[in-house]
Structure 1
Amino acid sequence: MEPARPARGHRAVPHTADVRIEAWAPRREECVAEAVTALVETFADTSGAAPGAETGFTVPAAADPDLLVGVLDEVIFRLETEGTLPLEVRVTAAPDGGLRVRWRGTDTDAVEPVGAVPKAVSLHELRFGPDRGGWSCALTLDV
């Protein structure tokens, strides 16, 4: 028998060439935040990093899978262009149906690399929506 999963969490799962992550939480926004944390953990050990100033962005209203991809694409974009990554993530619903993302982050040189840096979110086999007792997602990161 498989042990019960916690109410909120994430994990990397085996995949042939790229990186596949799963995340789950009671609410849609919490699930997105877990997916962001899972993305970061695929390539960086953040345990020794201290969170800096808060920053944020908004993803406009769209279908739920598109919202998830929009958030993760922004994380990857900021990683590539600013050399920053999130440590503490908070996602809330925006009035227009989109998502507001706030995070306290750090520079990439403050973390220990542990894997290949993601280049994009694959739309192939992307899943995000309600499930038993909450929300879950599964997606592949191109590295």
Structure 2
Amino acid sequence: MHARPPRGHRTVPHTADVRVEAWAADREGCLAEGVTALVATFVDATGVRPDGEAVFAVPPGDDADLLVGVLDEVIFRLETAGTLPLRGEVQATDDGGLRVRWWTTGTDRVELVGAVPKAVSLHELRFGPDGPGWSCAVTLDV
């Protein structure tokens, strides 16, 4: 069996929707990798350079709520502004929330390769410490 890299993501089989797993050395890195995993389920952005930037705050909550808040924001901006994060960073704030910064592009600049997610399912949601780092698993309703 191969050891997984220190940071990454993958799609795992699911009967009706899309399920992704992500991992990183720390909580904030895992959140950022979860965003990358979500976007990779439905677009190919190979070679696309960011042409925009977005910064937003996620209010304080438990870890699972923070994960859902960040992923819901991806879906919201996709539906309302036609933008997607190509890469990003997540920082914890003193009040227990998050500050998220994305470098974005328009949906017209990427190739659609899968079903567009409509929502983050709370069913079987997992996010927390995992061995030497953090991991999450999320089902996306498509």
Q: Under a length normalisation based on structure 1, what TM-score does the superposition of the two structures give?
A: 0.97
Aligned length: 142
Is the CA contact (8 Å cut-off) linking 1:43 and 1:113 kept in structure 2? yes
Please, what is the CA RMSD of the aligned residues?
Answer: 0.6
1:54-69 to 2 correspondences below 5 Å? 54-69=53-68
Task: Report the equivalent of 1:98.
Answer: 97
Task: Report the equivalent of 1:84.
Answer: 83
Q: Could you say what secondary structure the match of 1:15 adopts?
A: coil
Q: 1:85-138 CA distances to partner (integer Å, 9 max, x unpaired)? A: 000111111121111110111000000000000000000000000010010000
Q: Under a length normalisation based on structure 2, what TM-score does the superposition of the two structures give?
A: 0.98
| Offset at residue 47 of structure 1 (A) | 0.6
Is the CA contact (8 Å cut-off) linking 1:122 and 1:140 kept in structure 2? yes
Counterpart amino acid of 2:64?
P
| Offset at residue 4 of structure 1 (A) | 0.4
Q: 1:24-60 CA distances to partner (integer Å, 9 max, x unpaired)? A: 0010000000000000000000013110122111101
Q: Could you say what secondary structure the match of 1:97 adopts?
A: coil
* Structure 1 segments unaligned to the other structure (5+ residues): none
| Offset at residue 11 of structure 1 (A) | 0.5
* Structure 2 segments unaligned to the other structure (5+ residues): none
Q: Could you say what secondary structure the match of 1:79 adopts?
A: helix
17-26 or 46-55, which moves further after superposition?
46-55
Q: Percent identity?
A: 72
1:49 aligns with 2:48: yes
Q: Which runs of 4+ in 1 moved over 3 A?
A: none
